[in-house]
């Protein structure tokens, strides 16, 4: 019963993650409004409002979908609804800010006397600061002047914080991470302290990780940790210095499917779309960022890698023959030099219709490893530690293009693996191309003894059929059209100009309504993996070149994407004897 309860809680947690905003710049900021507006923040709000190039609005106003504002926007005494593009900051004085789906704010959002609503919808390139109490101001002609008399009536400790530059700290306690077959439902517990100051921010996040596979026992297998500290200098653009220490269970090939999808499949259906290993160590990094979505991070880490222990976590429904064997990873101590460049110009994170998303990674690893991942279990005990130095590159390139009012064309190219003049990759960094996260028409980690498998680069499958490719290349193309159906009349909102504060609600037609919208999707995929160097198996190894495209696995398919859930059908074309595959995805395919 306890395990069933944990699985049910994990499924519920994964569903909650579906509706959480995707990782983006503003996810690193605090949406929860602080109560008191420090004097320094009041002055900052007023200064932005008074600036010559600021677009000033009074009362509830809307930035329409086709508007492109090159500068700051400030609203006074009303709600600002953002539907279009703002290439600067958005400020609200005694009002709210409401970004809707498709909205894009490239700068910061600063709110005094209000809140941010619809935070999971639009895209924000900078940080978000909100203060619930009203801002005291007076007019001097067309300009505003901050009335700081109110601050002198506050408690001494609040006034002290204000005089020190607006420092604010919050302590939070985390919840559950994603359910997985190694930890069960890991519970994260610990403080998060964030201090904002003029021109920057300091963050300390210390979490203990309690793994529920053995109840609430306290031992190295059931308790881990994640500690991160970061000093950020700059708001819209700048530099950040950080360090972290961790003892965690990490996944292999996390690029294919999201944590929420993997967790939900494990908790509900005993389907495992990821391999796992233990990481223990620390990292220091430097991150440079810009408000237009660009970011470069360079880090150095020292880690110890170990195999994860196979556990029998519970699932609500058991499909097939149960859990596949947990693949064996390589073990040892590694020093890692990493670099990542990311560019994100999408107009919406969860459902983009236009923009680029590019991420390029480089990793150089040096250390001592026991290379046991590609060996049968009986041979692993005799394998010694050997020195290794490898280099790995990886690129994920996506383009979203709106080709009509209700249609869009998207494509994605993913590739990478072993770089020239490098030792072989450890099992933790090997690659594969199969399953709903890449080639939906080919089953994830299928076992067909004697068949040359160019998705996992194996002939005789190892236990669990781990990813074994040195390099891979995948291309995905999809065409989306709008899908709308109504059971009754839609609800229409009409707003007319009225009153001195701008637009206010006027007549509104109401009625029983059930309206859903989504997309129908047509897609095609092509991809394969291969070994670098030589191999006794024809067609499995290619040295220094991309294999002929005639050797790639291909599929085509169709489906429906309703935002939080997508249902798809894929049929293999390069091997038409394979049956078609139905699969579910959370959000879009990519």
530-566 pLDDT per residue, tens: 999 877 788 888 887 899 999 999 999 999 988 778 9
411 contacts 477 by C-beta, under 8 angstroms:
yes
Tell me, what's the pLDDT at 583?
A: 93
27 contacts 344 by C-beta, under 8 angstroms:
no
329 contacts 307 by C-beta, under 8 angstroms:
yes
The answer for residues whose C-beta is within 8 angstroms of residue 177's C-beta and 6 or more apart is 183, 185, 186, 187, 188, 209, 259
For 306-330, letters b (16+ CB in 10 Å) and e give: ebbeebebbbeeeeeeebbebbbbb
Tell me, what's the pLDDT at 162?
A: 37
How far apart CA 571 and CA 144 sit, in angstroms, is: 64
Q: Is 124 helix (H, G, I), strand (E, B) or coil?
A: strand
**Nearest to residue 394, comparing CAs of 289, 255, 547, 526?**
255
In the predicted model, what is the mean pLDDT of residues 447-466? 81
Going along the chain from its start, the domains and CATH numbers come out as 31-161 (no CATH), 170-326 (no CATH), 336-590 (2.40.160)
Indicate the pLDDT class of residue 270, thresholds 50, 70 and 90.
confident
Residue 318 has pLDDT above 50, yes or no: yes
Give the total residue count for the chain: 590
Tens of pLDDT, residues 467-522: 999 999 999 999 999 886 544 444 333 333 333 333 333 333 333 333 446 889 99
Tens of pLDDT, residues 40-92: 788 889 989 998 889 999 888 999 988 889 889 999 998 999 999 998 899 99
The DSSP line for 284-323 is EEEEEE-TTSEEEEEEEEEEEEEEPPP-----SS--TTSS
The 80-82 sheet, strands edge to edge = 61-63, 80-82, 97-99
Q: Is 31 exposed, middle or buried (0-12, 13-18, 19+ CB in 10 A)?
A: middle
Give backbone dihedrals phi and psi of 538, rounded to 5 degrees, phi first.
-60, 140
**Nearest to residue 552, comparing CAs of 578, 572, 581?**
572
Residue 1 has pLDDT above 80, yes or no: no
Tell me, what's the pLDDT at 531?
A: 93
Tell me, what's the pLDDT at 352?
A: 81
Q: pLDDT higher for 453 or 125?
A: 453
Q: Which two tokens stand for residue 138?
A: 């007076």
Indicate the pLDDT class of residue 436, thresholds 50, 70 and 90.
very high
Residue 167 has pLDDT above 60, yes or no: no
Indicate the average pLDDT of the chain.
Answer: 81
How far lies 211's CA from each of 192, 257, 323, in Å?
20, 22, 19
- Which range, 30-39, 96-105, 148-157, has the best average confidence (pLDDT)? 96-105
Write the Ramachandran bin of 190: left for phi over 0, alpha for psi from -120 to 50, otherwise beta: left
147 contacts 113 by C-beta, under 8 angstroms:
no
CA dihedral 424, 430, 433, 434 (to 10 degrees): 130
**Among 18-22, 118-122, 229-233, 318-322, where is mean pLDDT lowest?**
18-22
In the predicted model, what is the mean pLDDT of residues 393-411? 91
Indicate the pLDDT class of residue 173, thresholds 50, 70 and 90.
low
Q: How many CB atoms lie within 10 A of CB 206?
A: 16
In the predicted model, what is the mean pLDDT of residues 380-402? 93
Residue 324 has pLDDT above 80, yes or no: yes
In the predicted model, what is the mean pLDDT of residues 407-421? 95
**Among 8-12, 263-267, 391-395, where is mean pLDDT lowest?**
8-12
**Nearest to residue 343, comparing CAs of 359, 326, 329?**
359
Tell me, what's the pLDDT at 378?
A: 76
How far apart CA 47 and CA 144 sit, in angstroms, is: 8
Q: Return the H-helix or E-strand segment holding 13.
A: helix 2-19
- pTM to 2 decimal places: 0.73
- Which range, 400-409, 489-498, 572-581, has the best average confidence (pLDDT)? 572-581
């Amino acid at each position: 019963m306890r395990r069933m309860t944990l699985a049910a809680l994990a499924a519920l947690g994964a569903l909650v993650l579906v509706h959480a905003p995707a990782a983006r710049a503003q996810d690193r900021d605090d949406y929860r409004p602080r109560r008191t507006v420090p004097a320094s923040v009041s002055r900052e709000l007023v200064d932005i409002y008074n600036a010559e190039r600021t677009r000033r609005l009074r009362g509830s106003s809307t930035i329409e979908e086709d508007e492109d504002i090159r500068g700051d926007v400030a609203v006074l005494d009303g709600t600002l609804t953002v539907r279009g593009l703002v290439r600067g900051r958005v400020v609200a004085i005694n009002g709210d800010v409401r970004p809707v789906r498709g909205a894009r704010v490239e700068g910061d959002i600063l709110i005094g006397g209000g809140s941010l609503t619809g935070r999971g919808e639009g895209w924000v390139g900078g940080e978000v600061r909100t203060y619930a109490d009203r801002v005291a101001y007076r007019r001097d002609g067309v300009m505003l002047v901050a009335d700081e008399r109110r601050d002198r009536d506050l408690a001494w400790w609040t006034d002290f914080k204000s005089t020190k530059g607006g420092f604010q700290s919050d302590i939070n306690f985390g919840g559950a991470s994603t359910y997985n077959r190694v930890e069960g439902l890991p519970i994260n517990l610990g403080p998060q302290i964030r201090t904002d100051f003029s021109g920057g921010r300091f963050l300390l996040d210390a979490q203990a990780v309690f793994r529920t596979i053995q109840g609430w026992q306290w031992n190295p297998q059931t308790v881990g940790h994640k500690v991160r500290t970061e000093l950020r200098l700059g708001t819209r653009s700048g530099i950040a210095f950080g360090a972290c220490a961790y003892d965690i269970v990490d996944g292999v090939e996390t690029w294919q499917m999201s944590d929420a999808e993997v967790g939900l499949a494990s908790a509900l259906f005993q389907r495992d779309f990821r391999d796992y290993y233990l990481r223990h160590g620390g990292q220091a990094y430097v991150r440079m960022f810009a408000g237009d979505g660009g970011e470069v991070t360079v880090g150095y880490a020292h880690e110890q890698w170990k195999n994860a222990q196979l556990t029998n976590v519970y699932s609500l429904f058991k499909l097939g023959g149960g859990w596949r064997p947990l693949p064996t990873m390589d073990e040892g101590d590694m020093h890692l030099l990493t670099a990542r460049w990311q560019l994100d110009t999408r107009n919406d994170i969860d459902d983009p219709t236009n923009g680029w998303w590019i991420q390029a990674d480089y990793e150089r690893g040096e250390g001592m490893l026991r290379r046991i991942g590609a060996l049968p279990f009986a041979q692993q005990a005799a394998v010694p530690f050997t020195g290794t130095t490898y280099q790995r590159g990886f690129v994920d390139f996506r383009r979203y293009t709106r080709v009509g009012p209700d249609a869009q064309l998207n494509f994605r190219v993913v590739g990478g693996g072993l770089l020239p003049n490098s030792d072989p990759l450890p099992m933790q960094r090997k690659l594969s191309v199969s399953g709903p996260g890449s080639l939906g028409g080919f089953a994830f980690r299928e076992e067909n003894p004697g068949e040359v498998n160019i998705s996992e680069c194996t002939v005789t499958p190892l236990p669990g059929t781990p990813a074994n490719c040195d390099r891979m290349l995948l291309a995905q193309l999809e065409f989306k059209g709008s899908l709308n159906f109504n059971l009754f009349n839609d609800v229409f909102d009409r707003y007319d100009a009225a009153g001195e504060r701008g637009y206010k609600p006027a007549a509104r037609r109401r009625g029983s309504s059930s309206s859903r919208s989504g997309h129908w999707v047509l897609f095609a995929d092509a991809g394969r993996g291969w070994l670098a160097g030589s191999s006794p198996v024809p067609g499995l190894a290619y040295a220094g070149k991309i294999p002929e495209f005639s050797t790639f696995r291909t599929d085509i398919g169709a489906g429906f994407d309703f935002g939080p859930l997508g249902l798809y059908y894929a049929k293999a074309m390069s091997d038409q004897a394979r049956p078609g595959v139905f699969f579910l995805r959370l959000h879009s395919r990519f």
